[in-house]
Amino acid sequence: MPHQTQKTPVTTATPFIRMQQAVDIVNTSPHPANKIAAALFGRDTKTGKEFSVSRTNYWPAPIFEKIGTEARIGNASGTVHAETACIIAAAGATDGASLCITDPFCPNCAKNMAEAGIKAVYIDHKGFKKDFVARRAHAFEDMSMRICEKAGISVYELWRKEERLIPILQFAPSYAPPEDSPVEKKPFDAGPDKTKFLIAAKSIQSRHHSRKIAIALVKDASGSHEILTARTHPAIGYTMKADLGEIESPQGKYSFMLEPAGRILMHAARRGVKIADGFFYATQVPTARELVNITGAGLTSLYIGDLSKSRDEYGPQAMEELKEKGILSFTCLP
């Protein structure tokens, strides 16, 4: 690996403290079998303030209350994974932040971490011993780690009592992955004006022709508004030119691609900006997984360009389930 540096000792106690924070809450996970917790910590790029947040995997309240924990939503479980939960709940920009996790992470969370600008991940050593991991080790090693390698995310096995870190993958802090399709951002002076937002969204959509995109209005800490626009894109660090073979042959149920709505969620976290509920437009129905995460992010309504189009049949199924229970509303905006 050309980007790897020599194994430098990590002197800060922070990952051990934060891992403890995750371990302390792991048993509060509502999941009966797979109890997982994570803690995210970093320094906000704009304010310089340190922040941290810890979460378990969980069912977003509206899903827990109205659908319950047994049913699948489309082909997705109704849970938000702990790592992704931390990213969407972070009180500061996640760009450059670190994550402590009780267990090895799935490829979807790996893609989310890359998109959210996470630079270091610490996994509790006990996480490698559990049965759950044995069953999922293949996806972790084959996909999650490959995604981290491309994105320049350092990964460590962490031993709490011994305060020891074993590098699994290590990058220089200066390493920057190639980025050929960043999320577009544009200042939006009209603020939360729905009519003007929808006019802007249609104009952006026409510039992108028939491509699948998502557009959202976001607000930063100073109250300024911006419009974010994202296309479908491979996980950060992958390029269609160089990595087409790998992208075209993913492992099992996972894909190396990130869908536009999910990218918007992660990019908003990366920059520490908040998505305005009711100001989210997608040209197609998001995937089932995206719709669950959108619910977890506290959004309640979406505009959709074409309600009959989606990556697969599960997006519209999830849409119907969430709509019927009054969890998410969908307005067609052709």
Nearer to Zn ion, 137 or 332 (CB): 137
- Please state, in angstroms and rounded to a whole number, the distance separating the CA atoms of residues 159 and 165: 6
Which one of the spans 69-77, 109-117, 125-133, 148-156 is the region binding Zn ion (CB under 5 A)? 109-117
Q: Which residue has the tokens 């996994």?
A: 123
User: Which of 109, 153, 297, 302 lies at the binding interface for Zn ion (CB under 5 A)?
Assistant: 109
Nearer to Zn ion, 143 or 261 (CB): 143
Burial of 278 (C-beta count, 10 Å sphere; 0-12/13-18/19+): middle
- Please state, in angstroms and rounded to a whole number, the distance separating the CA atoms of residues 120 and 173: 9
Nearer to Zn ion, 140 or 281 (CB): 140
User: Which of 18, 35, 55, 81 lies at the binding interface for Zn ion (CB under 5 A)?
Assistant: 81
Nearer to Zn ion, 105 or 279 (CB): 105
For residue 322, report the phi and psi dihedrals to the nearest 5 degrees: -70, -35
Q: How far is the CB of 104 from Zn ion (least distance, A)?
A: 9
Which one of the spans 107-115, 218-226, 259-267, 326-334 is the region binding Zn ion (CB under 5 A)? 107-115
Q: How far is the CB of 219 from Zn ion (least distance, A)?
A: 28
Nearer to Zn ion, 84 or 317 (CB): 84
Q: Which residue has the tokens 């996806």?
A: 139
Q: Any bridge partners for residue 258, and if so which?
A: 233
Nearer to Zn ion, 250 or 278 (CB): 250
Nearer to Zn ion, 156 or 279 (CB): 156
- Strand ranges in the chain using DSSP code E only, listed in sequence order: 37-43, 50-56, 98-101, 120-124, 154-159, 164-169, 184-187, 213-219, 225-231, 233-234, 257-258, 274-285, 301-310, 329-332
Q: How far is the CB of 172 from Zn ion (least distance, A)?
A: 26
Q: Is 73 in the site for Zn ion (CB under 5 A)?
A: no
Q: How far is the CB of 112 from Zn ion (least distance, A)?
A: 8
- Please state, in angstroms and rounded to a whole number, the distance separating the CA atoms of residues 215 and 213: 7
Q: How far is the CB of 266 from Zn ion (least distance, A)?
A: 13
Q: Supply the DSSP symbol for 143.
A: I
Which one of the spans 104-112, 131-139, 297-305, 315-323 is the region binding Zn ion (CB under 5 A)? 104-112
Q: How far is the CB of 37 from Zn ion (least distance, A)?
A: 12
User: Which of 106, 165, 214, 235 lies at the binding interface for Zn ion (CB under 5 A)?
Assistant: 106
Which one of the spans 13-21, 80-88, 291-299, 325-333 is the region binding Zn ion (CB under 5 A)? 80-88
Q: 254 by DSSP, 3-state: which?
A: coil
> What are the counts of helices (DSSP H) followed by strands (DSSP E) for the chain?
11, 14
Q: How far is the CB of 144 from Zn ion (least distance, A)?
A: 9
- # binding residues, Zn ion (CB under 5 A): 3
- Tokens read off for 167: 């590098």
Nearer to Zn ion, 55 or 81 (CB): 81
The one-letter code for the residue type at 297 is: A
Nearer to Zn ion, 93 or 106 (CB): 106
Q: 131 by DSSP, 3-state: which?
A: helix
Q: How far is the CB of 110 from Zn ion (least distance, A)?
A: 8
- Tokens read off for 51: 């922040």
Residue from 220, 292, 274 nearest 89 by CA: 274
Residue pair 59/82 in contact (Cβ under 8 Å)? The answer is: no
> Which residues of this chain interact with Zn ion, rule CB under 5 A?
81, 106, 109
